[in-house]
Amino acid sequence: MAVQLIWIGDKMKMEVIPKIIRNMFLKHITTRFPHESNPIPDGYRGEHSFNIDKCRSCGLCSMICPNRAIEMVEVPAEYKDKYPKKYPKIDMGKCCFCGLCQDICPSGAIKLTKNFFLSTFDSSDVIKDPVPTKEKNS
Amino acid sequence: MELEAIGKNEYELFFGPAHPGSGNFSVKLKIDGERVVSARADPGYLHRGFEKLMEYRIPIQNAVLSDRICVLEPLAWNLIHAEAVEELMDIEVPERAKYIRVIMAELSRIQSHLIWYGVLSIGTGFQTGFKLAFGYRDFILDLFELITGGRVYPTGYICPGGVRRDLPESAKERIPKVLDKIEKMIDFVRAENPANIARLRDIGVLKLEDAIRLGATGPVIRASGLKTDVRKDEPYEVYDRFDFEIPVRKKGDAYARFQICLEEMEQSVKIIQQALKGLPDGDFIDKRFSKLKLNMRIPEGEVYVRNEVARGEAGVYMVSDGGTKPYRVKIRGPSFLHLIPVLEFLLRGAQIADVPAIYWSLNGCPADMDR
Amino acid sequence: MLEKEIIDKIEKKFEVEGSVQRERRIIVKIAPDKLVELCKFIKDLGFEHLSSLSVTDWPKRGIYEHTYHAWSYKDKMLITIKTEINRDKPEIDSVYPVWGESAQIHEREMHELFGVEYKGNPDLSPLFLEEWHEKPPFRKDFDWREYVRKNFYDKENERERVYFEGV
């Protein structure tokens, strides 16, 4: 019995206690999210951005979307003389962020950005209408 | 869990669907004292009807849909669907795309085995294993975010014809560093913990004749003694150019399956290192598919493709009648056989404290069972 | 070649149409009343693992086509057996005596989704669907879009209109 206690004491001194002291100074692998964050790479698939001046109204993005999240609608009445055709309205609640609309658009009007902070309390924020913005550089 | 009194000493227990770690699957057990008398599986909580959904979409939209067949390893199911369409349309995939596909499939296998190790540890009471496994899995998910654009669901990255984007330059330096960390973790974990082993040794023994009759494949049948692997029996992509081994055990209990889990991860690391050394230059997608088109016809015919995913043998049977959409798709998932016949056979006569160890050592995914 | 030898051995005993699709794939077509004898014969030849079984619905020809895929660990070969049965009254013998529980669970799924009766299968209770009183759902003449529109379409909700009124 006394021999076993001496053996356990030696094992603690020579193997376990040095490991405890070394582990106290190692860098941890947890990232404390809202205060620090990892860098996001290029090519990340986040929120859509739509440039109405480049759009040709071909309708290919609406035909290829697997979940029918894109629908071609007309713009509100005050912009109708400058933009007479139909433009895509995106419903982000149905979207699965696959990027097929970005790959098929022939003029590069729809692109996916790096923004992923998309949660909201108001369910009308989810639908993005094709309204032209007032400022020229946005 | 609900209790209901039946007969003299028996009662019925639901090992229910809202259980942490088992996903959405339930088993009804009839128990007498401490022993299980009989078990009945109750599937169907995640049935989404993929076989009917795929009949109404063109192949590139099906590639986006195919990574939700099994939640825990989406890239492997992307690959088998792409192989089925390519064999029907008679397409030749470029060499660089084949090497990239093998690297992504093996990374997905390592990540799925880390989940298996973590869930098996926490089910038998070893919490440190769970934290290590899910912590190191995050390094692999960061690699997926760099290459495909999403951490868990790479929506259709492996599509019919090749891959959708090329491998970035920084990925070639980051992959060997991640593999070094995983090798160090496997060495650390292999030092044996006596309490964990006593809960797994001689539990849930499955002999070889029973395994073939009940339809087990993959790591479950390799733990019972048969040396078979689809990557060596009928090599697909470029697996015949690499040098790796298949671990086999004879005993068939839960401890043998646990040892095979760790050894398969080491063999996958070897395959990725060989593939990175021999990666050639060239195109990453076939010329006919580099621009998306909406009206490509699939010629008439039928095909059956088999692959080795992390859980066992997967199969896709596709029939086409000459239109733009497939006529009938049948998906064979490995967990359909592991969680209904094999589990009901192994749970008969077991003690109630061994039910988690048996269930989690079979590595079943409920999404792959219900499709 | 090994594929040709296996087809010759089968053609000596049964009346079949055999063909070789590519390396390691053989297709054999047979009438439904001799099906279980053929399965016992090829299990003795070494095809002891039943990989999958499936049903395809051809409404224009008026048949259900059954396919069985079996793999041999010894010769590393896959054989596909096809039969045809009538579509309005589908009945066939079960292969449970040959391949055991792995055949029984696949037949239970096909009974529920296509409505095929298997004579000799010990357990054909429902697997995925609960309290289903309509036609079997995977047939080509079951209109699933009408079923969802009748039972679940909420006309007040503007976002659901895209699925039911067309694009």
Query: Nearest-CA distance from C164 to chain B in Å?
Result: 15
For B313, the closest chain C residue by CA position comes to C51
Average pLDDT over residues A93-108: 91
Q: How confident is the model at residue A4 (pLDDT cuts 50, 70, 90)?
A: low
Average model confidence (pLDDT) for chain B? Answer: 90
pLDDT for the residue A77 = 80
Q: Is C73 on the interface with A (CB under 8 A)?
A: no
C54: enclosing H helix or E strand: strand C49-58
Measured in angstroms, the CA of A83 and the nearest CA of chain C are apart by 21
Residues facing residue B62 across a β-bridge = none
Determine the Cα–Cα distance for residues B193 and A37; give it in Å rounded to an integer: 35
Q: What percent of chain A has pLDDT over 90?
A: 27
Label residue A6 by pLDDT band (50, 70, 90).
low
Range of the domain at B141: 3-370
Q: Name the neighbours of C, counting chains with at least 3 Cβ pairs within 8 A.
A: A, B
pLDDT of residue C28: 92
Q: Are B119 and B130 in contact (CB under 8 A)?
A: yes
Reply yes or no on domain C2-129 having CATH 3.40.1210.10.
no
Subunits touching B (CB < 8 Å, at least 3 pairs)? Answer: A, C
- pLDDT score, position B295: 87
**Would you list the DSSP string of C103-116?**
HHHHHHHHHHHH--
- Two tokens at B316? 């896709």
Q: Which two tokens stand for residue C47?
A: 């095809």
3-state helix, strand, coil split of chain C in percent (to 5) is 35, 30, 35
Searching chain A, which residue's CA lies closest to the CA of residue C162? Answer: A68
**CB-CB neighbors (< 8 A) of B330 in chain C:** 52, 54
User: How many domains are there within chain B?
Assistant: 1
Residue ranges in chain C whose pLDDT is less than 70 = 166-167
Average of pLDDT values for A14-19?
76
For chain A, what's the residue count?
A: 138
The domain defined by A48-128 folds into Alpha-Beta Plaits (3.30.70)
Q: Which of A30, A41, A103 sits opposite B145 (nearest CB)?
A: A41
Q: Do A103 and B57 touch (CB under 8 A)?
A: no
pLDDT under 50: residue ranges of chain B: 1
Interface size between A and B, measured as CB pairs under 8 A? 46
Q: A43 to chain B: which residues are within 8 Å by CB?
A: 146, 149, 165, 168
Contact B311, B115 (CB under 8 A): no
Q: Which of B289, B344, B337 has its CA nearest to residue B313?
A: B337
Say whether residue A71 is in contact with chain B using an 8 A CB cutoff.
no
User: B43 to chain C nearest CA, in Å?
Assistant: 6
| A38 close to B (CB below 8 A) | yes
Are the CB atoms for C24 and C78 separated by under 8 Å?
yes
pTM of the model: 0.90
φ, ψ at A122 (rounded to 5°): -110, 115
Name every chain A residue with its beta carbon within 8 A of the beta carbon of B158.
none
Span C88-123, pLDDT tens digits: 889 999 999 999 889 999 999 999 999 999 998 998
φ and ψ of B300, to 5 deg: -70, 145
How far A124 CA sits from the closest chain B CA (Å)? 26
By Cβ distance, the residue of C25, C56, C73 closest to B319 is: C56
pLDDT digits (tens, 9 = 90+) for B303-326: 999 999 999 999 999 999 999 999
Residue extents of the structural domains in chain A: 48-128
Rounded Cα distance, C85 and C87, in Å: 6
Q: Which of B29, B28, B72 is nearest to B369 (CA)?
A: B72
C-beta atoms of C128 and B47 within 8 A: yes
Q: Chain A partners of B171 at a C-beta cutoff of 8 Å?
A: none
Q: The complex's ipTM?
A: 0.91
* Chain B positions with Cβ closer than 8 Å to C: 43-44, 47, 49, 51-52, 212-215, 217, 226, 228, 233-234, 304, 306, 313, 315, 317, 319, 327-328, 330, 332, 336-337, 340-341, 345, 370
**Which residues in C lie closer than 8 A to residue B369 (C-beta atoms)?**
none
Helix (H) or strand (E) holding B159: strand B158-159
